[in-house]
Structure 1
Amino acid sequence: MTDPVSIPVSRRRLLTSAAVGAGAAVIGFPALAQGFDPYTGAPLQGAPAAGATPDAGVVQVDPNADSRHNISSWRAHADWRPYFSNLTNGAILVDITSRALTFWSEDESVVKVYPTSVPVSSDLTRRGRTEIIKKVEGPTWAPTPEMKKRNPEWPDFVPAGPDNPLGTHALWLSWQYYRIHGTHDTRKIGRKSSNGCVGLYNEHIKELFGLTTIGTQVLLI
């Protein structure tokens, strides 16, 4: 799995590091985890690739494709000042175009860059300022009342573990249903493969989880 990179970092090194992880092995999911979007409750359209997580949407994965194109637009943001007025509680910048998440600690002693998954389409993409309001290790998932009404056959609760679409850790944002979370489906990283949330490798979300606090600033651009 890739290691997050620290600023300053060369473009060549960043692309090489991310490309290694994009070809990592995939953990399979049961049929339940392939039929619906965990954030909106809408049935997935098209035929998700085997092992795809719920928020993989209509993205199809070609296992023979060169994964390097996934991160071809990466751009490291070395300076936080164009985006934040201060670093109180730390700051996270998610660049949808470059598919990268940059974290700065409050004292600027820690700067990390992680490859991410991004939404599959513009209508699912939300940009703007929010913040972390909740941190959960071993997140669980439960359908909303609306989801349950439309799909009574769904379970009332999906426990933490390999069947959970939120991976090993999740950071709740102030926007309802939006998360920065892990994923067990490593093919998603570096791709347009989510229905709104930002996904990281489980190793990376674990590290980011430890670096952030309630109130950490988040900006999606």
Structure 2
Amino acid sequence: MANTPRFSVNRRAFLAGSAAFLATPAIAQSVDGAATTEMERDLSQAVRRNISSFRTLDWRPYFSNLNNGAILVDIDSRALHYWAENGDYRLYPSSVPLSEDLTRRGRTSVTLKDPSPDWRPTPSMKERNPEWPDYVAPGPDNPLGTRALHLSWTYYRIHGTHDTRKIGRRSSNGCIGLYNEHIEELYALAKVGTQVLLI
């Protein structure tokens, strides 16, 4: 019986091959079946939407210092970046406002840390959704989740959510939402006075 060559793949080779495959530009099929590729676009104009790609970007030049820490929310990528005074870095996927008219951009800061937030809809929210309750006490049904960081802008917060489907989407009425476990971590790191920039 003739010896047939054996093909063996170790874990390292498999992972390297998978990474190379995933790095290859994908070809997307349009509705009419014509092939298009990302390579056809001007990549300098492309918006980075893959959250993992933000790990290599340094947003700190937006801040003159890291006193009290710094939070940057990138609305387009739906990501919240946090730097501690010592330079430690965290990245969290987030929910962002539903529409541009509900979106506020610019500089603000954390003015209050709320360990057990309750919720009242703003007057404009109540106008758009009259069926909403006037008040929701802290707990599992609270739209602000388990923690909230109040910003200097009236009604704006960075808060948790029990509805995990909202994260990574345009789904809020103006606030920035995080998974409850992420807001609890950020809550422990942030201080009253932490700089916040929404871009």
TM-score bracket for this pair, using the shorter chain length: 0.5 to 0.7
* Structure 1 counterpart of 2:156: 178
> When you count strand as a share of all residues, which structure comes out higher?
2
- What is the TM-score when the length of structure 2 is the normalising length? 0.68
Alignment size in residue pairs = 151
Q: Is 1:167–2:145 an aligned residue pair?
A: yes
Q: Is 1:107–2:107 an aligned residue pair?
A: no
Give 1:158 deviation, angstroms: 1.5
Higher relative contact order (CA 8 A, sep 6+): 1
Distance 2:60 2:125 in 1: 41
Give 1:127 deviation, angstroms: 0.6
Task: Provide Cα deviations, 1:36-78, integer angstroms capped at 9, x if missing partner.
Answer: xxxxxxxxxxxxxxxxxxxxxxxxxxxxxxxxxxx94434164
Change (3 A) 1:119 1:154: closer
* Structure 1 counterpart of 2:114: 136
Distance 1:196 1:180 in 2: 10
Give 1:155 deviation, angstroms: 5.1
Amino acid at match of 1:175: W
CA contact (8 A) 1:183 1:200 kept: yes
Give 1:188 deviation, angstroms: 0.4
CA contact (8 A) 2:117 2:144 kept: yes
CA contact (8 A) 2:122 2:155 kept: no
Change (3 A) 1:182 1:152: closer
Distance 1:134 1:126 in 2: 19
Change (3 A) 1:186 1:87: same
Match of 2:136 among 155, 158, 170: 158
Change (3 A) 1:80 1:149: closer
Give 1:79 deviation, angstroms: 2.2
RMSD: 2.6
- Regions of 4+ moved over 4 Å: 143-156
Instruction: Indicate the larger mover: 144-153 or 90-99.
Output: 144-153
* Structure 2 residue runs without a partner (length 5+): 1-18, 20-47
Q: Percent identity?
A: 68
* Structure 1 counterpart of 2:169: 191
- What is the TM-score when the length of structure 1 is the normalising length? 0.61
Change (3 A) 1:89 1:160: same
* Structure 2 counterpart of 1:94: 73
Q: Secondary structure at the match of 1:204?
A: helix
